[in-house]
Amino acid sequence: MAEKNGFFDEMHGFDGNIQSPYTEYNTWFSNVDAGRLKRKAKDAENFFRQTGITFNVYGETEADERLIPFDMVPRIISAKEWNKLKLGIEQRVKALNAFLHDIYHRQEILRAGRIPTELISNNEAFLPQMVGVDPPGSIYTHIVGTDLVRTGPGEFFVLEDNARTPSGVSYMLENRETMLKIFPELFSRVGVERVSDYPQLLRRSLAACAPVRTNGKPTVAVLTPGVHNSAYFEHAFLADQMGVELVEGHDLRVVDGRIAMRTTCGFEPIDVLYRRVDDEYLDPLNFNPESMLGVPGIMDVYRAGGITITNAPGTGISDDKALYSYMPEIIEFYTGQKPLLKNVETWRCSEASSLQYVLDNLSELVVKEVHGSGGYGMLVGPAANKAEIEKFREKLKARPSNYIAQPTLSLSTVPILTDAGLAPRHVDLRPFVLVSPKAIEVVPGGLTRVAMEEGSLVVNSSQGGGTKDTWVLRDE
């Protein structure tokens, strides 16, 4: 299978020649019986079904719980490529954390005129309640998922940052577990870095962020909105793998200036709460008064240093896609260095000249909501029809500041297994980063999301995308 349509295929290059990271895998694949592969594909699907690895899709009247598609052809990254990515991700995460501390304290970057003041002051993700608050260890971004795309050999771009409540790590872990079960011989032939120790690394990293008032070994818990949340499987999975309690808002209360959880022995204090509840619903006394998902008074305990909330409230502003366009300036301002990883060129529709350009070129651009996620609320111009483009044009005119636009990149492809053999599909990559006062750890791999439909650039599971196991080769 050679890629002839101008896209870089990570296994076959531009010209059909096997790329070096895939050499050993290709030798193995060339000698595997096609019938065995089909049987293994069925085994993998049954494993996911039995394990309950599903996700929910909102807004549908039926079949809203789906099995995420899994493809057995791994995405393989060389040690050299990974080391380059790792350094760039670490630089970016350091800058994000410094930026968050600054905008909730002295706001030096605003005083210096490096980013517009209104980008912060008018941003719905900016929390005035966090001004002057010092999180334990000065860490805001404890868990980060950085979305990357590739366009050619050594050409990686950061597509967006996910520091609010990054999801998908459970699929990364289950993808690896599935591959180990169905093709154990592969891992004896190809030296692949481990990802299975992520839950232990996560618990250790969270514990290292415990507040000063912690006595003895820190108590960690995972806060979930409940079983109807689209990522509930992941919440339960991570709590189980870390060996900590999975709690909902009604399980928690303020006791003696601490957040305590209900146990069979009464209420016991929590030191670190890994929350998967959005800011708006975290505390009905400080945010949405109608929220039934959070804990009344938790922000007061947090501000007083009685608990660590991960990720910190107000961190979501770093996910803003308009702010993303200023990341090169943010990185240089806080690190004194040029970005090691490139941003995608971005037009801010809040600016009149950019808006006009976007309106004139809608059919060629990808347009996204600044606070959007999951592939919702976006336009992929080249894949849209005239009616869809005109409908989106009216949305842009009505609320230009709600959108940014980017060029349609020539995203790399990785083969998937089809009935006809290998076929190229577009992919992105979400590596996961753990941040504590002691270390920044980038897990060697991440979640590769793949567009299962030919020619599609939308990889989100909510939009029909699937996942792959991501292999980072050991440095020999």
Residue 251 · residue 298 · CB < 8 Å: no
Residue-level pLDDT at 276:
97
Q: Is the pLDDT of residue 135 over 60?
A: yes
Residue 404 · residue 367 · CB < 8 Å: yes
Nearest to 223 by CA among 212, 234, 207: 234
Structure tokens at 4: 């002839």
Q: Is the pLDDT of residue 40 over 60?
A: yes
To which H or E segment does residue 75 belong? strand 70-77
Residue 373 · residue 163 · CB < 8 Å: no
Handedness of CA 334, 337, 341, 345 (dihedral sign): positive
H helices, E strands: number in the chain = 14, 23
CA distance from start to end of the chain: 28
Residue-level pLDDT at 441:
97
376 band by pLDDT with thresholds 50, 70 and 90: low
- With tokens 């060029």, the residue in question is 407
**43-47, 94-98, 421-425: the lowest-pLDDT one:** 43-47
- What mean pLDDT do residues 160-174 have? 92
Q: What does R_g of the chain's alpha carbons equal in angstroms?
A: 23
Residue 467 · residue 70 · CB < 8 Å: yes
Q: Is the pLDDT of residue 57 over 60?
A: no
Residue-level pLDDT at 60:
47
| Residue 385 region by backbone torsions, left for phi larger than 0, else alpha for psi between -120 and 50, else beta | beta
Residue 21 · residue 77 · CB < 8 Å: yes
- What mean pLDDT do residues 127-155 have? 95
Residue 459 · residue 427 · CB < 8 Å: yes
- What mean pLDDT do residues 220-243 have? 94
64 band by pLDDT with thresholds 50, 70 and 90: low
- What mean pLDDT do residues 196-225 have? 96
Domain boundaries, the chain: 212-306, 345-408
**35-49, 77-91, 162-176, 188-202: the lowest-pLDDT one:** 35-49
CATH classification code of 212-306 = 3.40.50.11290
> By three-state DSSP, how is residue 56 classified?
strand
pTM, 2 dp: 0.92
Fold (topology level) of 345-408: Dna Ligase; domain 1 (3.30.1490)
Burial of 127 (0-12, 13-18, 19+ CB in 10 A): buried
Q: DSSP code of 315?
A: G
